[in-house]
Chain A
Amino acid sequence: MTISSPRQASVPLPMWQGGGTRMGFFTDTSICIGCKACEVACKEWNDVPDLDPSWSGNSYDNTLRLGASSWRHVAFVERPRPDTGVGVQWLMSSDVCKHCTRAACMEVCPTGAIFRTEFGTVVVQEDVCNGCGYCVSACPFGVIERRADDGRAFKCTLCYDRLKVGEQPACAKACPTQSIQFGPLDELRERAGARLEVVKNESGHEMAQLYGADETDGVGGFGAFFLLLDAPEVYGMPPAPSYQRRDVATMWAAASVAAGVLLGGVAGAIVWGRR
């Protein structure tokens, strides 16, 4: 089963039309061992600032979420085994920016700091970003964030600099079990489909599903998609992410009406005041 948005995009939206091969991540959470090597490799390579050390008490997760200084985040979910109800299941999943086909962060960026690379990935240019924060509210996953001490927005670049020289992203390189796989998106989707069959049928994970592999979903599919052992909300991910700019036209229309009413009111007040 794949996730598709209950609300299909109502207007034609800009899709990625790049000429090269679109590259991405397939994160197979069924073989994630929660080692967090991806988090460390990402921070080391990209020189992402440290977090203040703080023990959460939430299983082994002390990073807690993606953010301006956490571009990979391994989620830990402890729960009773869903099949038998006896014993424990411990889900682990390394989350990352989805590099959406319809990337709202990019669309709302007024400075052009966020752009689509020749690899089909979505990257923020640090020296262009003016810190307006539109992208933050546009992202349906809460991925992109501004750094408090800096003001600019940061997120996973899918190691654009490494891709430029023919290397794979640092997290995929460091992942010991190949839970994080990097490659041409078409190939990854094919591989993921086959893997899903095995996980569902042979390993007995009936609820296993691909998340973000479907181009008809609300963001046109992810450039970084997942194989999950249960519904995305179990992992703290939105079940039906949608492209926020879909509603921009109606929002502007509503805003215009509101502005008109407001202006009318102001004008009326002025007129009234002159009396």
Chain B
Amino acid sequence: MGSNMAECHPVAFQWVVEAKQNGGKLIHVDPRFTRTSALADRHIPIRAGSDIAFLGGLIHYVLEHQRYFPEYVRSYTNAATIIDERFLDTEDLDGFFSGWNPKERRYDNSSWQYAGGVIHAAAGQRTAPGALERATVVGGSPPQEDPTLQHPRCVFQLLTRHFERYTPEMVEKVTGVSRAAFLELAQTICDNSGRERTTAFVYAVGWTQHTAGAQFIRTAAILQLLLGNMGRTGGGILALRGHANIQGATDIATLFDVLPGYIPVPKVDDPTDLGEFCSLNGGAAGGYWGNLQNYLVSLLKAYWGDAATADNQYGFEYLHRLTGDHSTYQSTLGMVDKTVRGFFVLGENPAVGSAHGGLHRKGLRNLEWLVVRDLYEIETASFWYDSPEIASGELRPEDIDTEVFLLPAAAHTEKSGSFTNTQRLLQWHEQAVEPPGDCRSELWFAYWLGERIRRKLAQREDPRDAAILKLNWNYPLLQPGGDPDPHHVLREICGWDGQGTSLPGLGAVRGDGSTTCGCWIYAGAFAGGTNLTSRRRPHWEQNWVALDWGWAWPMNRRILYNRASADPEGRPWSERKRYVEWDEKTCRWIGPDTPDFPLDRRPDFQPSPGATAENSLSGDRPFIMQSDGRGWLFAPSGLVDGPLPTHYEPQESPLRNALYEQERNPGRQLFRRVDNPYHPSAGEPGSEEFPFVVTTYRLTEHHTAGGMSRFLSRLSQLQPEMFCEVSPELAAERGLRPGGWATIVTLRASIEARVLVTPRVTALKFGNRTVHQVGLPYHWGSRGLVRGDSANDVFPLVLDPNVHIQEVKAATCDIRPGRRPRGGIS
């Protein structure tokens, strides 16, 4: 669901094909019938944006028919935990949880906590207000629980009630999936889960790019925990990342609010004391986040080296602090509003790839300076003389003041380094050829930019420059003026001790300044001084888990939380699904993978009072990053928009919310401004002007915003033009001619596309209402060998509140035959 794996991840899809040949069943739930559907045993068309209703229906089915995995649920999830008596559900408040502050449009999650104490989350919004003053749940058992799962406020009962109305009939009404198809799927999943079998969910941006995107994934997590499909072979929820190294980019912190290894960036109102900051952000929690101070101090040592000492809190005061949301789209609006004056774009093409491209280009026009590093002169660099606004005559190049620096970048074959792929696997690649001309690697660019800035700052005496001047910026160069040694950079990320010996693993990362580690989850990738990410032993020369191919974080584990592949006593759930288990003879966890548990921790281990971090978890708590070692069916902290997923309609929808009076995710990030108009939804005046659902996607033949494909003839000729996919019914209704032109109309933009009429797009029935969906690949722009309008131009800015991602998988539009009107100065 939410993924077109065969088209967008064809290389990874080989394993799905292999699984199918071994008897696996593949079911594809997607608005369109894609190349993934073509290979699936079953394709189920769904209305874009309705996945929580669908997955919630599955949760309801599992609970109602008692198809959950009882031993797993009781021991490994927080099903038995009793929740604060002040908690009120969306069933009580018609689409809201308790704690909603309508003025600030945000929740106070105090009432979502465990009865008797606040509990820290492993990610996201980690605490509740007043967490420092309130009792904190650390490991062991929560203050109040009911192992019989009968208490009305225990998580299991709250969950049951929350999804009570997500019946097969409701699923049909909301998603367009027939009751029969839904029930068949529900049964298949349940039959394929339990001791003997497991089911996996695979998703990509079809789940994330919604105003409740994080909650889409939460819904799947709840379902998989109920079915006992986490931490086991053939189970899990597999996130497919969009680029070869996007996982690595997230790990080593390209996001504004996390430091390397998912350590939160301090906020302005966070404590200035390092210890206090750590306590508030997980350091006081059970599980491995209890070691936060070790991870953070070692990172600070990597940043500031000898200048990071106990006296200056290891440079904690040098760290920048967040004043609010500084995510991508906030920066875009800042550019539009001229509060952001300069902008670096590396390996991205936001003028084509970001929602509301027109607004993004407006932001670029308002900048003082812009640096674009890319393989070609992409639209983000050419916006000032080659863009829809220039073509239409709306603007002239001479009226645009932005100074653009276009710097040629080296491709991956022209530099050495590591990719961290979708399964957290680091794979080293060697440089094959020298980059041509002035092309340089990102490493070269970052290093030499830093050098130049430091030289400039060194000439003035401003205390605010200390953080930059005291940086540990000593990297051995491959040649004078050349690239820093990339092996050295990875070694720094993986960490070393006082003697300069590479750390054997994350357990060796210290908070007393004796170790340096750029990213604690990568500790161990250089164990023994060897770059383990460059290992290439073929799978036929080792066991089937293939631990000697590359290196996966953390600790070369291939399946996370694999302690859950054994029962509470440490025995395999079944012979068929045997993976990691307790060996009484050697008193160790053993298996073909690296066990994701302290190796010698007995299954019957009980923590001593006052124990911290992982030592506060008993031997039967597999989810070691969680404060209570359990999988969270109910998330008291972490998400800002609710402890349980709830179906909301997208910002723009042709249907009303059939479940609640509250139409949309109340916490979504809205930007109500003249240059970002939203369409009215069903029932609101004017909604009939935009009657169709529009969704974006990728094609195998191109790469995202086209910077790496539209400029290559081999790829361009395979998909040479922007097109839209419509059903034969919609084509008939709107008079769209196959092979002709259509114009897709929204309040943001009108774009044109060739018409591909195909039965692969299904018109969905909702009672007597038919909902048509228009599919738009988003690869084209005004540059390259093949050109066309950009699909992202038609979408508004409206974001998920947890991760600030744009909703481009479901909005509304109109579609008309013929080409769009041409502008021009008359």
Contacts and interface: CB of A to CB of B under 8 A. Distances in A.
A63 B718 contact: yes
A51 B713 CA distance: 9
B756 A92 contact: no
B244 interface: no
Contacts of A33: 6-7, 10, 13, 17, 35-36, 38-39, 700
Interface in B1-21: 6-7, 10-11, 13-14, 17, 20-21
Contacts of A51: 717
B720 A60 contact: no
B166 interface: no
A27 to B, nearest CB: 14
Contacts of A57: 723, 738-739, 754-756
Contacts of A54: 717, 720
Q: Of A37, A51, A80, A176, which is in contact with the most chain B CB atoms at under 10 Å from its CB?
A: A176
Given A90-B35, A92-B35, A60 B713 contact: no
Nearest to A59: B758
B785 interface: yes
Interface stretch (A38-46, A207-215, A241-249): A38-46
Interface string A8-52: 000000000000000000000001011111011001100000111
Contacts of A37: 10
A35 B717 contact: no
A92 B38 contact: yes
A177 to B, nearest CB: 4
Interface residues of B, number: 40
Contact of B38 (A34, A44, A63): A34
B786 interface: yes
B721 interface: yes
A52 B717 CA distance: 7
B764 to A, nearest CB: 13
Interface string A200-232: 001000000000000000000000000000000
A177 B14 CA distance: 5
Nearest to B720: A53
Nearest to B17: A177
A5 interface: no
A88 B759 contact: yes
B17 A31 contact: yes
A90 B37 contact: yes
A35 B700 contact: yes
Contacts of B716: 53
A62 interface: yes
B699 interface: yes
Nearest to A179: B17
A57 B43 CA distance: 23
Contacts of A90: 33, 35, 37-38, 760
B250 interface: no
A62 B719 contact: yes
B701 interface: yes
A87 interface: yes
Contacts of A176: 10-11, 13-14
Interface residues of A, number: 34
A50 B713 CA distance: 7
A36 B10 CA distance: 10
Nearest to A204: B41
A87 B23 CA distance: 23
A29 to B, nearest CB: 11
B718 A34 contact: no
B700 A34 contact: yes
Interface in B699-754: 699-701, 713-721, 723, 738-739, 754
Interface in B355-380: none
A53 B786 contact: yes
B717 A88 contact: no
A60 B699 contact: yes
A35 B754 contact: no
B38 to A, nearest CB: 4
B727 to A, nearest CB: 11
A137 interface: no
Contact of B719 (A43, A60, A91): A60
Interface in A174-206: 176-178, 198, 202
Given A51-B717, A87-B43, A177-B17, A34 B35 contact: yes
Contacts of B23: 202
A44 to B, nearest CB: 6
B204 to A, nearest CB: 16
Contacts of A59: 756, 758
Interface string A71-104: 0000000101000000111111000000000000
A53 B17 contact: no
B720 A88 contact: no
A257 B213 CA distance: 79
Contacts of B756: 57, 59
A55 interface: yes
A43 B714 contact: yes
Contacts of A60: 35, 699, 719
B456 to A, nearest CB: 45
A37 B9 CA distance: 12
Contacts of B39: 31, 33
Contacts of A202: 23
A170 B718 CA distance: 18
Contacts of A53: 713, 716-717, 720-721, 785-786
Q: Of A31, A60, A63, A202, which is in contact with the most chain B CB atoms at under 10 Å from its CB?
A: A60
Nearest to B713: A50
Contacts of B723: 55, 57
A78 B760 CA distance: 8
Interface in A84-128: 87-92
B423 to A, nearest CB: 16
Q: Of B37, B38, B721, B739, which is in contact with the most chain A CB atoms at under 10 Å from its CB?
A: B38
A90 B23 CA distance: 21
A88 B786 CA distance: 30
Given A33-B13, A36-B701, A55-B754, A62 B720 contact: yes
Interface of B: 6-7, 10-11, 13-14, 17, 20-21, 23, 33, 35-39, 43, 699-701, 713-721, 723, 738-739, 754-756, 758-760, 785-786
27 contacts: A31-B20, A31-B39, A33-B10, A33-B35, A33-B39, A34-B6, A34-B35, A34-B700, A36-B700, A39-B718, A50-B713, A50-B714, A53-B720, A53-B785, A53-B786, A62-B720, A87-B33, A87-B43, A88-B33, A88-B43, A88-B759, A90-B35, A92-B35, A176-B13, A177-B17, A198-B21, A202-B23
Interface of A: 31, 33-37, 39-40, 43-44, 50-55, 57, 59-60, 62-63, 78, 80, 87-92, 176-178, 198, 202
Given A54-B720, A57-B738, 19 more contacts: A31-B39, A33-B7, A33-B36, A33-B39, A34-B700, A35-B700, A40-B714, A51-B717, A52-B717, A53-B716, A55-B721, A57-B739, A60-B35, A62-B717, A78-B758, A78-B759, A87-B43, A91-B38, A198-B21
